[in-house]
Amino acid sequence: MKKAYLFTNSSNANFTQVINSIQEEDIVIGIDGGANFLYQNKISADLVIGDMDSIKPEVLSFFKKNTKIEIFPSEKDETDSEIALKWCRKLGIKEIIFLNSLAERFDHSLGLLSLLCSAKKYGLSAAIQNDFQKVFLADRSCFFNIEKGTILSMIPITEKVESLTTSGLKYQLENENLYRDSTRGISNECVQNKIKITYEKGELLIVLTPKQVSS
């Protein structure tokens, strides 16, 4: 299935592993200043989109030669990332990766979290990713393969997540609730390659961090 890789405006970010997973049929989008990263790393883009207040003039000039450009007003009700997400929805792209360092503007990181919620609402699969972390909303029945030793945090973004059961983790949960005002789900560890998480109600954020990063 075709994926869209949305490069946000992140300086000093490490995306090597994610970039290596991009296939020829996938869509690459530079969101405003995210196009600077693409230019610096000689990565072709299918689209550059945003209000262009962060992109370098020489980068914009370069991409204008052979890349689709969509420019929006700087004063608007949506972030450039939300506009890019809506563009993907319009094209029928079902899987979206936001590439972001998660190390700079905290408000922008929270904005991307809002977009994960928006994507799930419309039946899309979305994640925020770099070489050090992957962040996504779990489905009610969530199965995935992961490297042993990966740190897995489960964070309710609703008041509570009900009847949560896990498999493959060091600290197992069996039909328990997690609450938004508690840190109980932080820093669990994957002790198997196959992880299963199920729950009945609420919204659960998953954060995956390689053990060598967290130690």
Whether the per-residue pLDDT at 174 is higher than 80: the answer is yes
Do the bridges between strand 160-167 and strand 176-179 make them parallel or antiparallel, or are there none, so unpaired? Answer: antiparallel
Mean pLDDT of the residues in the chain:
94
Question: Is pLDDT of 12 > 70?
Answer: no
Q: Looking at domain 141-214, does it have CATH number 2.120.10.30?
A: no
- pLDDT confidence of residue 11: 60
Listed residue (150, 151, 124, 147) closest to 137, CA to CA: 124
Domains 3-133 and 141-214 share a fold: no
Per-residue model confidence as pLDDT tens digits over 32-52: 999 999 999 999 999 999 999
Structure tokens at 161: 């997540």
Q: Say what the pTM is.
A: 0.93
Residue 215 has pLDDT above 50, yes or no: no
pLDDT at 63 over 50: yes
Dump pLDDT digits (tens) for 73-112. Answer: 999 999 999 999 999 999 999 999 999 999 888 999 999 9
Tell me the C-alpha distance between 191 and 53, whole Å. Answer: 45
pLDDT score recorded for residue 122: 94
pLDDT band (50, 70, 90) for residue 212: low
- pLDDT band for 1, please (50, 70, 90 cuts): confident
Q: Which of 129, 132, 137 lies closest to 197, judged by CA? A: 137
CATH annotation of 3-133? 3.40.50.10240
| 103 vs 135: CA distance, rounded Å | 13
Average pLDDT over residues 186-198: 97
Each domain of the chain, given as residue ranges in start order, spans 3-133, 141-214
